[in-house]
Each structure stands twice: as structure tokens, then as C-alpha cells.
Amino acid sequence: MSQVPASLAQHFETPDGFTGHFGWLCGFSADDSFLNDALERFTHRQANQRAYTGDTSLALLLDPRAPQITPIEVPGLLHLPWAKAAMPFNLMHAKVAVLTYRSTARSDVWSVRLLVSTGNWTRQTLEHSLDLVWRLDLHSDDLRSPTETTQQARTDISGAWDLLSWLRRQYDGRVLLANPLTAKAITDMDTLLFKQIKLKAPGLSARFFDNRTASLLAQLPAKVVSASGRGVARNYLAMGSGFYESSLLGKTPSVPLQVVRGLRGEGGGPRLLTMSSDVNLFVNEGGCQGVVEALAMLTAADISVRPAAQPGYFPHAQKRTLHAKFIFSASETGHSNKTGNPWLYLGSGNLTPQGFTLKMGRHLGNLEAGVVFAPTPLNWHPPHMAVADPESIGYYLPIQRQLTCRPEALQAGEAFEVGSEVFSAARVAYLVWREAQTPEQGWLSSEDDLEVDYVVLDPSHQPCTYVDGQGFTWCGQRPRQVLIRWQVENTEQFMAVPVLDGFGRLAATELPNISLEDAWRQLEGFPQLPSEEELPDAFDHSVRSGSRQENFGRAQGTASYPIRQMMELIEGIAAKQTALAPIDWPVWCARLEQSLIQASGCGLLQAFLALNLNPIHALRQAAFRPHFAETPEHLAGQRYEAALNHIEAHWALDHSHPLGAPA
């Protein structure tokens, strides 16, 4: 079998020498199967590890009517709710991702990736659809001596970032500020994109475009001329769409005909398609909507309606349905097998009025986005018809020239329906957990409970008791997320909100009790996390997963030489942290605090604390700290001392004598 091109999820894969930092995705729909796959590739952390850290690597913006995807279903991702009263679009249909990666070796080295997809962020895209994706990578080294290609990449990414920046203001992003590591990653990404990448070269037009101010069709001719550098008329055109108008009859003209006429310059634009061109429309025979009844009309307009081709690298028994939205044009000459002056549009916009000929509007067009670019000239035909050839156009696009659709083979398919229930923002974006003095009980409250106009529901969907000054009473262990209920105009609304623990971890699994030996193992292995098998189950809605937690920590006992072992631990921590780079410092402080607090019940620690000594005092000395965190004058030092303060509080060291201080 021929090599299969990378799937949409595989395009999230981290480059060698980098780690995923933060990313934004928008789309019409998504599911947990795809997103967990993409997140593992982006972070190189499995679900249990992501749930253990309780931070966020991807923020997701979907059509407001898409059902909520919770952080328990996809650890490391937050699906943001809609925040506005009215929607400025018919559907939120654009499918775009901007991902940032940072070097594992140097703090000043980064990479940004732009993905423009025709497919949703779903398993169906991976397994059942014919879809396309355009990918663009920009590396920090590219900016040292920027070429025209580099400047074009900056312009394209800036265009996509402008759309995502506008879009994220329509959603409730408060929950992204709950975890300090997540908040910092977002700030880092904003700074990078606004201060380094957005400095685009004057005179360049972005190949990326959206329909907020004008329809995709209205912008298409100018984008073709800009991207290809030529306003020549080609003699071949292929159009494909996963969805068409419900009826093309009576339209003057239908969307496919509008595309053809627009490219032929009939509206006064550049002439990009010859009058005698070979025009092809690719469809799903089992679901092509109004194409069924308009086949004769399209044929009379010299448009060949063809079934989408099945690429040779997919198993023949696995027939996929066309979901890609594309327009491809090139010139064909009798003496060459190469595509001449090719250009390609791909994006989210179907060949419907809402998708392609209308600009965004509440009762008008969807929000759509796409890209127009000039691909490398490829062969029209492979050397062997039965073999998928990476040098041929059919390897990349589901087009063919042998078969046309027979009228009896075409079916309209099922009508497209969108639900009416909106995943909208609640009064609170997350709740904070505080332990109560009573075992197996705690308090849930927001950080600004000025008006409590919502109810927290317990696992039986019964309202929890609210106590002024404390919050909602929760009987049981800390939940990772809770369901809240509120009313909007006498209509009940529900939303699952994540719970923030005392370490700033969101919707996180429990930090099990461990020994000091295990704590050092976690610190020594930094930045690696404990293995997937050692951690609680990420998809368990309860906090604990008993069997795994019981196996996580070693049996605890009192060591024979607690002072010596404690000093070895402190010296090991000092040696580890003085060698760290500033970029790793926030994560290290969180790891240090969590690991040592997890060991609070360790027998060795209790034996040492009986000596009334404070070992944490030694870690405050300048010699035990990296140079950039030696004092609290800078944020790095403040973050470090806050972590030490929390450790001392959990170890109850208020009245202990500082280890190493004069008697």
C-alpha cells in the first residue's frame, strides 16, 4: 500500500526537540476521541498524566450549539462556552488551529503551526471522510534573516490569529485564568503572536481569509491572483463540497455556476478561467442534495458531475464520503503531463450560499475560513493508474476524470439539522475547593461570589446546601467537576464546571500520599511525569482510583537515619533546581510544592519533624537557588518562596528551628 498522508490528528505532532506549549482551535464540532489523540501528540503526555497536572494545553471554540466536552472527557483541553447574547453568524463553521511549541533546550526558540481544515475535529474525519488540511510552520530561526517565504508565513499566521483573537472574545475564557501555568502559557502565546509574528512585511496579502466582512466568493479572484502571482486564465476547474444547496433549480445561478462565472470575469473581475474550460463538480452520490434534481441543468452548462475519487492509499473496502470543500484550477496542455499555473482553495465553506456566497451574518452566512495557495505543479496522471502517486494531483485531491454520475445513482441524502440548545456561559466558570474540618466534606465556592444565582448539584442531581461565607457544602471527596444549574428567562440551564484544588490544578485527579523517596523520584525525573500506569484513571469521574493509588507510593516506614536522608533530599533538590532554565521554573515550582506536600504523611518525614527542625529553610539560601530566583525581587523568586511557604504550612513547621541556622 502507498504511504498514507498524515491525518488531521497527526498534524498536531510536536516537532523534534520541542514540546507543545499552547494552542487555540475553532470548529463546528469535535469529539473526545479525536481530541485525546491530538492532545497526546501535542503534549506527548497521556490522558492520566494530563489529568494529574491539571493544566490546559488547548482551548476549543465550537459552534455554540455543539454539546459541551468536559475536561474529564478530554484532560488538558477546555471547551469554552458562548458568552454573548446573540450570534453574529448562522453557524460557526470555520475550522482553524494555531499551535505554539517551545524548544526543550533553549528558551528563545519556538515554533508556530497553522492548520486550516475542511474537516471537523472528530473521529469521523479520521476514519470515514475525505477531507483536506493545509499546514504552515514558522520557526523562530526563520526570522533571523527573513525571506519572502518567511514574510508570507508571518502574514498568513497573522490573518488566522486575527480571526481567532476576534472569535475568542465571543466566548467565556475566565476558566483559562484559573491555573497559573495555563494563564502564563496563554500570555506567552499572545506576546509571541502580537510582538514577533504580527510584524508582517508591507504589501503582502494573506493567503488565509475569512468571510466576516465579505463572502469567500467575493474575495476569491483577488486571492487567486495574489497567491499564484498570475492573472492568467486556466482551462481546468474542479469543485468539491460535502454539502450543496437543498435545491439548485430556480436559482439564478446556483453557487457552482456563480463560482464559474466569477472566475471567468463575468462580474468585471480578472479572467482566471477560459470560456471553453473543462469544469467538474465532485459530489457524494449518496448525499448531494439539490444536485440530484439539477443534474441536467448542470450538464447543459457544461459542468461534469462526477463521484469523488477514492485515493489508492485507503483500503478499497473502506469507501469514504466527500467532506472536503475545495476549488482547484490549472492549465492543461497537450505536450505536458504537468499542471500549469495551479491554484487551490480549501476551507470550511461548502458550495452553498451560507458557506460561500454570503458574508457572515446572524441570518446570512456562516463564519467560514479558508486558504488560497499555489501548490507545486504536479502530474495530471500517475504512471500507473492503480497506484497512488505522490507526484500526481489525485494523491492530494479526490478528483478523477473517468467517471460521471448517472442520474439513477444520485440521492439527495438526509437534511442537515442543527440543535437549538446553546452551550452558554454561567455565572461561574469554575469552582474552588476547600477542605472542611469534617472528614469527607468540603466547600465549593467561586472566587467572586458577589451574587450566587446558581445551584450546585450533587451526584444525585440534588441541590447542595449553600452557607454564606463558606460556599456550597459537598459531602464526599473533592469532585473534579460539578454540574450547576441556573435560570435564564424561566428556562433552566445546566453546565459542568471544573473544580480547582489547592494547588491550582483544574479538574485534576487526586495527588496520592507518597513517601519522600517517591517525592524525590518525581523531582529527579523532572520534567518527565510519573508513568501512565502509576497515576489515577483520567476518565474516572471520582477523584480517586483506589487500586492505582494504593500501588503508587511505596510502603512508608521510619528510616534509621532521618537527618542524613533529609539532607540528601535537600541537596538533591538544590542540585536539580540550580541547573534549570528560567522557562522551566514555573512548572518546577509547582512540581516541588506538590511532591513535598504529597509526602506530608510519610513516616520518614514524621520521624524527622519530631526533631523540631525545619529542613525547608535551607532551600531559601541563595546557594541552593538558581541565579534568576535568588531573591523575591523578581517573579521567579516570588513564585519559589510561595511554594516553600505552602510546603512549610502543610508540614506544620511554624515553630521548628531552621535547619542550618545558628542555634
Distance of alpha carbon 504 from alpha carbon 502, whole angstroms? 6
Whether 207 maps to a domain, the answer reads no
Residue 504's identity, in one-letter code, is G
Whether 375 maps to a domain, the answer reads yes
CA dihedral over 591, 10, 164, 79, signed as positive or negative: negative
**Same domain? 364 vs 254:** yes
Mean pLDDT of 376-386: 82
**DSSP 8-state class, residue 505:** -
Q: What is the pLDDT of residue 643?
A: 93
Q: Of the segments 65-74, 544-553, 588-597, which one has the largest average pLDDT value?
A: 65-74
Distance of alpha carbon 297 from alpha carbon 303, whole angstroms? 9
Cα 586 → chain centroid: 22
**Same domain? 43 vs 186:** yes
Q: What is the pLDDT of residue 546?
A: 37
**Same domain? 395 vs 536:** no
For the segment 64-107, what is each residue's pLDDT rounded down to a tens digit?
999 999 999 999 999 999 999 899 999 999 999 999 999 988 88
For 563, the grid coordinates are: 537527618
Say if residues 660 and 621 touch (Cβ distance below 8 Å).
yes
For 412, the grid coordinates are: 439527495
> Taking each helix axis from N to C terminus, what angle separates 585-598 and 562-577, rounded to the nearest 10 degrees?
160
For 126, the grid coordinates are: 479520521
Question: Which of 197, 223, 248 corresponds to the end of one domain?
Answer: 197
pLDDT-derived band at 543, boundaries 50, 70, 90: low
**Same domain? 527 vs 584:** yes
Residue 208's SS3 state is: strand
Domain count, the chain: 4
Residue 329 pairs in a beta bridge with 237, 343
Q: Who contacts 376 (Cβ-Cβ below 8 Å, separation ≥6)?
A: none
Whether 304 maps to a domain, the answer reads yes
Question: Which of 475, 500, 525 corresponds to the end of one domain?
Answer: 500
pLDDT-derived band at 506, boundaries 50, 70, 90: very high
Whether 663 maps to a domain, the answer reads no
**Same domain? 123 vs 155:** yes
Question: Which of 379, 409, 439 corresponds to the end of one domain?
Answer: 409
Which one is predicted more confidently, 421 or 26?
Answer: 26
Reported in sequence order, the residue ranges of 393-440 that DSSP labels E, i.e. its strands, are 431-435
Q: Which of 108-122, 146-160, 250-264, 390-404 has the lowest mean pLDDT?
A: 250-264
CA dihedral over 220, 225, 227, 233, signed as positive or negative: positive
pLDDT-derived band at 311, boundaries 50, 70, 90: confident
Indicate whether 558 pLDDT > 80. Answer: no
- Average pLDDT for the chain: 90
Whether 25 maps to a domain, the answer reads yes
Q: What is the pLDDT of residue 559?
A: 42
Q: Which of 18-22, 514-518, 615-619 has the lowest mean pLDDT?
A: 514-518
Angle at 110 between CA 105 and CA 112, to 5 degrees: 145
**Same domain? 99 vs 172:** yes
**Same domain? 353 vs 461:** no
Among the listed residues 124, 94, 122, 132, the one whose alpha carbon sits nearest the alpha carbon of residue 30: 122
Among the listed residues 326, 358, 330, the one whose alpha carbon sits nearest the alpha carbon of residue 345: 326
Indicate whether 644 pLDDT > 80. Answer: yes
Among the listed residues 89, 95, 97, the one whose alpha carbon sits nearest the alpha carbon of residue 120: 95
Q: What is the pLDDT of residue 252?
A: 54
Indicate whether 568 pLDDT > 70. Answer: yes
Distance of alpha carbon 511 from alpha carbon 529, whole angstroms? 13
**Same domain? 173 vs 251:** no
**DSSP 8-state class, residue 407:** G
> Taking each helix axis from N to C terminus, what angle separates 516-524 and 562-577, rounded to the nearest 10 degrees?
20
What is the β-pairing status of strands 234-240 and 325-331? antiparallel
- What CATH number does residue 227 fall under? 3.30.870
For the segment 344-370, what is each residue's pLDDT rounded down to a tens digit?
999 999 999 999 999 999 988 999 999
Cα 316 → chain centroid: 32
Indicate whether 577 pLDDT > 70. Answer: yes
> Cis omega before residue 582 (within 30°)?
no
pLDDT-derived band at 524, boundaries 50, 70, 90: very high
Whether 205 maps to a domain, the answer reads no
Whether 507 maps to a domain, the answer reads no
Among the listed residues 548, 484, 479, 550, the one whose alpha carbon sits nearest the alpha carbon of residue 508: 479
**Same domain? 372 vs 237:** yes
**Same domain? 116 vs 255:** no
Buried b / exposed e along 229-261 (16+ C-beta atoms within 10 A): eebebbbbbbbbbbbbbeebeebeebbbbbbbe
Q: Who contacts 258 (Cβ-Cβ below 8 Å, separation ≥6)?
A: 217, 357
Whether 121 maps to a domain, the answer reads yes
Among the listed residues 539, 546, 536, 438, the one whose alpha carbon sits nearest the alpha carbon of residue 481: 539
Domain with 288, as residue range(s), is 215-409
**Same domain? 241 vs 185:** no
**Same domain? 173 vs 122:** yes
Which one is predicted more confidently, 128 or 530?
Answer: 128
Angle at 299 between CA 294 and CA 305, to 5 degrees: 80
